[in-house]
Amino acid sequence: MARVTLDKVNKIYPSRHGDVHAVQDLDLAIEDGEFVALLGPSGCGKTSTLRMIVGLEAISGGVIAFDGQPVNDQTPEQRNVAMAFETYALYPTFTVAQNLAFPLEVKGVDKPTRDEKVAEVARLLRIEPILDSFPRQLSGGQQQRVSLGRALIRDPAVFILDEVMSHLDAHLKFQMLFELKRIHQTLERTIVYVTHDQMEALALADRVAVMSDAKLQQFGDRDTLYDRPANTFVAGFIGEPPTNFLEAEVQDDGTTMRLTIRDASAAFVPDGPRAAAIRDQSLKSVIVGIRPQNLHVRHDEGDEQITATVEINEYQGEHSILSLRDGAAEFRAMVPPSVKTGEGETIDLSYRSRDVMVFHPETEVFIS
Amino acid sequence: MARLVLDEICKGWDFPVLDRLSLTVEEGEFFVIVGPSGIGKTTLLRCVAGLERLDAGRVFIGDRDATTIKPYRRGVAMTFESYALYPHLSVYENIASPLRARRLPKPTIDRTVASVASLLKIDHLLDRRPHEVSGGQKQRTALGRTLVAKPDIFLLDEPISHLDAKIRHELRRQFHTLEELRRVATLYVTHDYSEALSLGDRIGVMGKGGLIQVGSPRDVFENPADLFAARVLGQPSINEFQAIIERDASGIHVSVADGAIRFPPAGPHASVLGRRQDMGISVGMRPQHLSVLPEGAEANRPTVTGSVDVYEALGATGVLIAKVGDQQMTVITPPEAHYQTGEPVRIALDRDHFLYFDRGDGRNLMVGPH
């Protein structure tokens, strides 16, 4: 068990095109037993961060500490960190039981203890029936479980999972999400989980650290990231389909405020507190953010409305995604699959004022 | 410009991956094959590309029988899930390689690479080598190299599966509008059903040996040919229950788990189910056709009661797994809702959308001759 803290951590890779600053002044405090996800687009520095925590990569600047003790100079073995990868990396000539026992065998643990630990991990991961099978006889999901088991069996202080689900089928992934959550609740072990998939991160982690451009953008739980994103990057990265961003002019007569979309006819009405915040900062223009899920075809009491033209109606089974245009503005709405409005037709969409997010036009910071 | 015709192609003998698979993809058509991993989707593409030898059957590209033509003379361009980039060449040189092979003038190559790179948002990486870019960026480089090739047939193997949601949605939109793709025949394989439904002019659900069902996205999702096709499309997966049909004076009822779930089926379903001699069926309920009723709410639909087993708030929705009798029922909830394990819930059944399958062969009882 360990509390993991990163203090002003930097990673710089020298390259023939000049230095690449992969991680910049990263501060992060992961509590003992907490499940934290590192989330970001490819190339954001999340894998470099993880490799520094594990000890596979030298730290260019700053301090990483486990339970307050700096580990910068420790080897991965000394840190007692276990890692499972995207590729399962199982030994093909070993059975599942032998694969699981191997890390203990290397450490010189005696056979009765090994057998006991293998049985315990197999029970936790529900892989008892396949202990005598070879990796090639297993499905992808089963192999992934064995790979997790092999990391777990070492009883690590910190458990690190690198994109472990990105090659699993959607259905399998869904099962594994619930499974992994259950395992964490049983073990109460510190877990750092790296992924580019926001759905996985939100579903699994107690808190999610969103990274972009080598920097931490926001560190918070699901509701915070979803309802109060720090900036347009976080708002755009969390949620699927991504949030719509529209540049808007502020029109305000002191009582009602309208945010008129630039080069378009639609205007959004923000709720009271947001309008007040915009007034406080005396902004002439803002960036409006509205999630596709929050534009409805159903009209409820008190909803505001906009009209747009459908460019693409993408049927997705459970719902459809409309790509819409209003003047020069393009945005998306998520609607029930029964909506069959086609290309070139206009559609009325409703929204609630409190679902209108507003960002500063230059800094792109969330205005609350 | 050409259409692609597969005529009873076979691969593998004892346990054939492809068993007399026939398919025509028209010129200008975007055809998506969806199926679980390991089912043979990549093998099918490799057979079309000429990288695997067929055991039987023929491949036609336009009027040409391409079955024995060498891969590089077939006029196909393929992306590989493993990217297969040249490690010693820059991103620019990787994308330019098919253009250089055609000996195009340098300004044309520069222009083409620049436009595809900006489309795929990798224009700032053109000088880097594959090992200096991330996995998602490698995937886009491989896609760029395929897009510039101007083939008769595009073969795309999970080209956007490993990208984050934001860029995936951007590329999806581009797939809808890209001239290069919309002009020729494209065969696209994915395990992601929403990608298939969103992109395909038509889709094919692949199961053991070949295509289980071919049709428009809406038709396949709403009227799956069998339980397998119903399982492949939809997330979370469709709820499946073994049920029996009960008849009494008030009409027929579908009953699951000794009546823990019991309801009269919708009119059109009732007439088909009523004609069945064998009383055992499977009923399929998609999670979005089940909803948790607020306390005290009137339901104009049949309901069942259960308790919360697991609840997970995802981004746009929540997923609730309820215990109903000895059965588990997965339900989609609105994002604002929060539930505690053990909490009692009442679930409304949107039975008009339920699916009914033969318990033996799994075929959809509402499709085809009753």
- Residue A231 per-residue DSSP state: B
The answer to whether residue B96 neighbours chain A at the CB level (below 8 Å) is: no
Q: Give the C-alpha distances (Å, rounded to integers) separating B311 from A35, A55, A224, B19, B305.
A: 17, 36, 18, 42, 16
Question: What is residue A66's predicted lDDT score, i.e. its pLDDT?
Answer: 95
| pLDDT tens digits along A142-176 | 888 898 899 888 888 899 998 888 777 777 788 78
Residue B61 phi/psi, 5-degree rounding, is -120, 110
- Whether B361 contacts B297, CB under 8 Å: no
Stretch 10-69 of chain A: residues touching chain B, C-beta under 8 Å:
15, 17, 20, 41-43, 47
- Residue A366 per-residue DSSP state: B
Angle at B185 (CA atoms; ends B183, B190), nearest 5 degrees: 120
Stretch 148-167 of chain A: residues touching chain B, C-beta under 8 Å:
166
Q: Do B176 and A314 touch (CB under 8 A)?
A: yes
Across-strand partners of B280?
A: B244
Q: Which residues of B touch A203 (CB under 8 A)?
A: 312-314
Q: Do B134 and A43 touch (CB under 8 A)?
A: yes
Question: What is residue B370's predicted lDDT score, i.e. its pLDDT?
Answer: 54
Stretch 26-55 of chain B: residues touching chain A, C-beta under 8 Å:
36-38
Q: Do A317 and B234 touch (CB under 8 A)?
A: yes
What are the structure tokens assigned to B187, written together?
A: 């065969």
What are the structure tokens assigned to A157, written together?
A: 């202080």
| pLDDT tens digits along A197-220 | 998 999 899 999 999 999 999 999
Beta strand pairing call for A190-195 and B239-248: unpaired
The answer to whether residue B24 neighbours chain A at the CB level (below 8 Å) is: no
Total beta-carbon pairs less than 8 A apart between chain A and chain B = 119
Across-strand partners of B349?
A: B290
What are the structure tokens assigned to A149, written together?
A: 């088991």
- Whether B45 contacts B187, CB under 8 Å: yes
Residue of B nearest to A140 (CA): B37
Question: What is residue A116's predicted lDDT score, i.e. its pLDDT?
Answer: 93
Residue B266 phi/psi, 5-degree rounding, is -60, 155
Question: What is residue B1's predicted lDDT score, i.e. its pLDDT?
Answer: 64
- State if pTM tops 0.80: yes
Q: Do B312 and A181 touch (CB under 8 A)?
A: yes
What are the structure tokens assigned to B256, written together?
A: 């699951």
CA-closest candidate to residue A169, choices B287, B39, B204: B39
Peptide bond before B344: cis, by omega within 30 degrees of 0?
Answer: no
Question: What is residue B4's predicted lDDT score, i.e. its pLDDT?
Answer: 96
- Residue B337 per-residue DSSP state: -
Residue of B nearest to A201 (CA): B314
The answer to whether residue A237 neighbours chain B at the CB level (below 8 Å) is: yes
Peptide bond before A241: cis, by omega within 30 degrees of 0?
Answer: yes
Q: Check whether A312 has a pLDDT greater than 80.
A: yes
Q: Helices marked H in chain A — which ranges?
A: 46-54, 76-79, 96-106, 111-125, 140-152, 170-187, 198-204, 222-227, 232-237, 272-280
Residue of A nearest to B139 (CA): A42
**pLDDT tens for the 370 residues of chain B, in order:** 689 999 999 998 888 889 999 999 999 999 999 998 878 899 999 999 999 999 999 999 998 999 999 998 999 999 987 788 999 999 999 999 999 988 999 999 999 999 999 988 899 999 999 988 877 788 889 999 999 988 999 999 988 877 888 888 888 888 888 887 888 999 999 989 999 999 999 999 999 889 999 999 999 999 999 999 999 999 889 999 999 999 888 889 999 988 999 999 998 999 999 888 777 899 999 999 999 998 888 878 999 999 998 888 876 788 999 999 999 999 999 877 788 889 999 999 999 999 999 998 999 999 876 5
| pLDDT tens digits along A225-257 | 999 999 999 999 998 899 999 999 999 988 889
What is this model's ipTM? 0.83
- Whether A70 contacts A4, CB under 8 Å: no
**Total residue count of chain B as it appears in this document:** 370
Sign of the dihedral defined by the CA atoms of residues A127, A132, A138, A140, in that order: positive
The answer to whether residue A176 neighbours chain B at the CB level (below 8 Å) is: no
Residue B154 phi/psi, 5-degree rounding, is -100, 135
Q: Which of A318, A340, A343 to mutate to test the interface with B (most CBs of B within 10 A)?
A: A318
- Residue A107 per-residue DSSP state: T
Question: What is residue A270's predicted lDDT score, i.e. its pLDDT?
Answer: 95
- Please report where in the chains the tokens 């679980």 appear, as a residue: B36
Give the 3-state secondary structure of residue A267.
strand
pLDDT category, A1, cuts 50, 70, 90? low
Number of Cβ atoms within 10 Å of the Cβ of A272: 10
- Whether B18 contacts B11, CB under 8 Å: yes
Q: How far apart are CA A225 and CA A213, in angstroms?
A: 18
Question: What is residue B169's predicted lDDT score, i.e. its pLDDT?
Answer: 87
Residue type, B152: D
Q: Do A240 and B316 touch (CB under 8 A)?
A: yes
Query: A65-95 burial string, b = 16+ CB within 10 Å, else e?
Result: bbeeeebeeeeeeebebbbbebebebeeeeb
Q: A4: number of CA atoms within 13 Å, CB side?
A: 26
What are the structure tokens assigned to B35, written together?
A: 């199926």
Beta strand pairing call for A329-335 and A244-252: unpaired
Question: What is residue B369's predicted lDDT score, i.e. its pLDDT?
Answer: 63
Average pLDDT in chain A: 91
Q: How far apart are CA B230 and CA B234, in angstroms?
A: 7
Across-strand partners of B312?
A: B319
Sheet containing strand A81-84, edge to edge, reads: A81-84, A158-162, A190-195, A35-39, A207-212, A215-220
Across-strand partners of B29?
A: none
Q: Which of B314, B321, B341 to mutate to test the interface with A (most CBs of A within 10 A)?
A: B314
CA-closest candidate to residue B178, choices B205, B203, B160: B160
Mean pLDDT on A34-41: 95
Residue B175 phi/psi, 5-degree rounding, is -60, -30
